[in-house]
């Protein structure tokens, strides 16, 4: 795409920054230690600051701008909806809400045909868990250590990563287990088949010792995202489906990050031929242009609430502006073959390109992913697989990853950095040229990471 002409305006940028520093309280941050970039605008796969610097966004925001920034058709649909009916309470049937639900339900696998709308991913997870508990009459929920499910009370408790620790007291009945991850196998496995079989045995053992009749749900990200983009080995998710059926446990797949094209299919579950009982979504459903998430519900669980009220709701459930953005986004994704593009870019550009980088850079321990959903696991030493920085490192201990990130930015790439990993997660409609531009910037930044290998 033609690069946007940037008119630098450092004074305006300084004012934005000053008001931010004075009044905005940022997520996940020590407020006095952060230095947020003041962003002047964004279009497609790029954004730019007030000083004339333009960045190729290899993060898709927080992995949600699946059709890039400012898609004119989606912007127009939001404007049109604002002129028609900006908002309306959730108890009413509204054309654009009905249409968004229909379009989503038509794309979700199996009989996930009813949609409960939320404002984002964490609320979707909260409500999926509530539905599972009410449906089964049980309380416990099993989740994976290497996972992220959101930052509200139950969702953060279900989360495996260290952002949970400060809020670990919030929700009763959460039990964590190890999901498969062959590169850093919790089961000392050496093949995918071994990893899958042992992970399933571990899950079944966990269930036996927790008491099957106490477990309402198992929640898994179909492909765990923030935790490292670990594609599950063949047979694993089908095995979890079987275990859930055996014990009457509700199977929840969290597709907040992996859904809506990111893996090169509408939903990642399609790669594994599994249909969960509940599926959470958000982010890519409307590229995050207006906050929206939801739970896709199967017929059996939906029927639980046919005669009995569902005890949950949100003022903005199915907000017309958010739904209009979803309808337009799904239309754009169909018309412009965005899902197919994500698959093709993964197979022909990002996959081969990242593997080629791994051959030349000793800091790359493993390349994994699919579609526009890739992780580079950076290591100090390929033989020992010791991570480039320790788990949850901060300050000086995190210096190698900070240096990598700074080098990427210097080369015009905004990288996704989490612990010892960088994720290549551009928009699903990223062009071949943009993806190659990203690979070239990663190449330069990895040379900096290489300096920290031993």
The residues of the shown chain that bind ligand PLP, judged by CB under 6 A, are 62, 120-122, 125, 148-150, 221, 225-226, 254, 256-257, 282, 293
State the nearest-atom distance from the C-beta of 22 to ligand PLP, in Å.
Answer: 25
State the nearest-atom distance from the C-beta of 280 to ligand PLP, in Å.
Answer: 7
256/269 with CB nearer ligand PLP: 256
State the nearest-atom distance from the C-beta of 225 to ligand PLP, in Å.
Answer: 5
150/351 with CB nearer ligand PLP: 150
- Nearest C-alpha neighbor of 329 from the set 281, 284, 267, 270: 284
CA dist 297 and 273 (Å) reads 17
State the nearest-atom distance from the C-beta of 419 to ligand PLP, in Å.
Answer: 15
- How far, CA to CA in Å, does 194 sit from each of 181, 188, 414? 11, 9, 37
151/403 with CB nearer ligand PLP: 151
Based on the number of CB atoms within 10 Å of its own CB, is 26 exposed (0-12), middle (13-18) or buried (19 or more)?
A: exposed
424 pairs with which residues across the strands? 374
- Quick check: helix, strand or coil at residue 398? helix
State the nearest-atom distance from the C-beta of 253 to ligand PLP, in Å.
Answer: 10
Under a CB-based contact definition with an 8 Å cutoff, are residues 33 and 71 in contact? no
CA geometry: angle 189, 249, 172, nearest 5 deg: 90
State the nearest-atom distance from the C-beta of 363 to ligand PLP, in Å.
Answer: 25
290/357 with CB nearer ligand PLP: 290
CA dist 415 and 433 (Å) reads 17
DSSP characters over 185-197? -TT---SHHHHHH
- Quick check: helix, strand or coil at residue 167? helix
B/e letters for 319-350, b = 16+ CB within 10 Å, e = fewer, are: bbbbbbbbbbbbebbeeeebbebbbebbeebb
- How far, CA to CA in Å, does 3 sit from each of 47, 55, 111, 416? 10, 10, 43, 22
122/449 with CB nearer ligand PLP: 122
295/328 with CB nearer ligand PLP: 295
297/439 with CB nearer ligand PLP: 297
CA dist 41 and 69 (Å) reads 9
255/437 with CB nearer ligand PLP: 255
154/429 with CB nearer ligand PLP: 154
State the DSSP code for 215: E
CA dist 132 and 244 (Å) reads 12
State the DSSP code for 389: S
State the nearest-atom distance from the C-beta of 222 to ligand PLP, in Å.
Answer: 9
State the nearest-atom distance from the C-beta of 164 to ligand PLP, in Å.
Answer: 13
Residue nearest to ligand PLP (CB): 121
State the nearest-atom distance from the C-beta of 63 to ligand PLP, in Å.
Answer: 7
């Amino acid at each position: 795409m033609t690069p946007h002409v940037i008119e630098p305006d450092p004074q305006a940028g300084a004012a934005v920054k000053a008001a931010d520093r004075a009044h905005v309280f940022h997520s996940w941050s020590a407020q006095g230690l952060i230095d947020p970039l003041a962003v002047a605008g964004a279009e497609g796969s790029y954004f730019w600051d007030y000083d004339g610097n333009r960045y190729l966004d290899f993060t898709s925001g927080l992995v949600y701008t699946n059709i890039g920034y400012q898609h004119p058709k989606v912007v127009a649909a939001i404007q049109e909806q604002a002129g028609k009916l900006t908002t309306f309470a959730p108890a009413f049937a509204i054309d654009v809400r009905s249409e968004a639900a229909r379009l989503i339900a038509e794309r979700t696998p199996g009989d996930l045909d009813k949609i409960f709308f939320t404002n984002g991913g964490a609320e979707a997870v909260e409500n999926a868990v509530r539905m599972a508990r009410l449906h089964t009459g049980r309380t416990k929920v099993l989740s994976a250590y290497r996972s992220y499910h959101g930052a509200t009370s139950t969702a953060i408790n279900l989360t495996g990563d260290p952002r949970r620790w400060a809020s670990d007291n919030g929700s009763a009945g959460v039990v964590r287990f190890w999901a498969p991850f062959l590169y850093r196998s919790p089961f000392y496995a050496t093949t995918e088949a071994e990893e899958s079989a042992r992970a399933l045995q571990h899950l079944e053992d966990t269930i036996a010792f927790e008491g099957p009749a106490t477990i309402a749900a198992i929640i898994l990200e179909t492909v765990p995202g923030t935790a490292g983009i670990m594609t599950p080995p063949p047979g694993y998710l089908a095995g979890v489906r079987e275990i859930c059926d055996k014990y009457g446990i509700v199977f929840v797949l969290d597709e907040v990050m992996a859904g809506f094209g990111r893996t090169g299919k509408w939903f990642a579950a399609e790669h594994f031929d599994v249909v969960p009982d509940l599926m959470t979504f958000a982010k890519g459903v409307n590229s995050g242009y207006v906050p929206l998430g939801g739970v896709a519900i199967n017929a059996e669980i939906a029927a639980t609430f046919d005669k009995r009220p569902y005890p949950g709701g949100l003022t903005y459930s199915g907000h017309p502006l958010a739904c209009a953005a979803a309808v337009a986004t799904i239309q754009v994704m169909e018309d412009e073959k965005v899902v197919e593009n994500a698959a093709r870019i993964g197979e022909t550009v990002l996959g081969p390109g990242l593997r080629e980088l791994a051959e030349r850079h000793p800091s790359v321990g493993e390349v994994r992913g699919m579609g526009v959903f890739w992780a580079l696991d950076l290591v100090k030493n390929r033989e020992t697989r010791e991570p480039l920085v320790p788990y949850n490192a901060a300050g000086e201990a995190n210096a190698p990853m900070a240096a990598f990130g700074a080098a990427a930015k210097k080369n015009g790439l905004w990288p996704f950095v989490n612990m010892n990993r960088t994720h290549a997660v551009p928009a699903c409609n990223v062009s071949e040229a943009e993806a190659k531009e990203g690979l070239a910037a990663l190449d330069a930044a990895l040379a900096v990471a290489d300096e920290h290998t031993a």
